[in-house]
Amino acid sequence: MEEVRTSWMPKYVPPASCVLYLLGQDDAQSTAIRDRSGNKNNGAIGGALWKQNSKGLWGLDFDGGTDTVIISTDASLDPVTNGSIEFWFRANTINRNDVESVGDALYYIGAIYFAIFFGATNNAIRVFRYDGTAFHHSGNTAVTTGIFYYVVVTWGVAGIINYLNGASDGGDSTAGIHTGTGRAHNMGNSAARNIGFDGEMYLVRTHNIALSATQVLGHYNQERHLFGV
Nearest Cα to Cα of residue 95 among 69, 66, 120:
120
d(CA 210, CA 215): 10
CA–CA separation, 137 and 175 (whole Å): 9
Mean pLDDT of 95-120: 62
Q: Provide the pLDDT for residue 28.
A: 66
Domains of the chain: 18-227 (2.60.120.200)
Q: So what's the pLDDT on residue 4?
A: 44
Q: In this structure, how many other beta carbons lie within 10 angstroms of the beta carbon of residue 61? A: 18
Query: Which helix (H) or strand (E) segment is 187 a member of?
Result: strand 185-187
Q: State residue 99's pLDDT score.
A: 40
* CA dist list (Å): 142 to 42, 72, 94, 104: 31, 32, 11, 14
Greater pLDDT, 72 or 195 = 72
**What's the pLDDT at 8?**
47
Residue, of 172 and 89, whose pLDDT is higher: 89
pLDDT classification of 101: cutoffs 50, 70, 90: very low
CB-based contacts of 108, cutoff 8 Å, min separation 6 = 114, 115, 116, 185, 186, 187, 189, 190, 191, 192
Percent of the chain with pLDDT over 90: 28
Percent of residues, the chain, with pLDDT higher than 70 = 78
Which pLDDT does position 71 carry in this prediction? 86
Using an 8 Å Cβ cutoff, are 171 and 183 in contact? Answer: no
Indicate whether 80 pLDDT > 90. Answer: no
Which carries the bigger pLDDT value, residue 171 or residue 24? Answer: 171
Please give the model's pTM, rounded to 2 decimal places. 0.87
168-189 pLDDT tens trace: 998 777 666 666 666 788 888 8
Per-residue pLDDT for 120 more than 50? yes
111-130 average pLDDT score = 74
| pLDDT confidence band for 164 (50 / 70 / 90) | very high
Q: Which amino acid is at 45?
A: I
- Top pLDDT among 52 and 105 is at 52
Across the chain, mean pLDDT equals 80
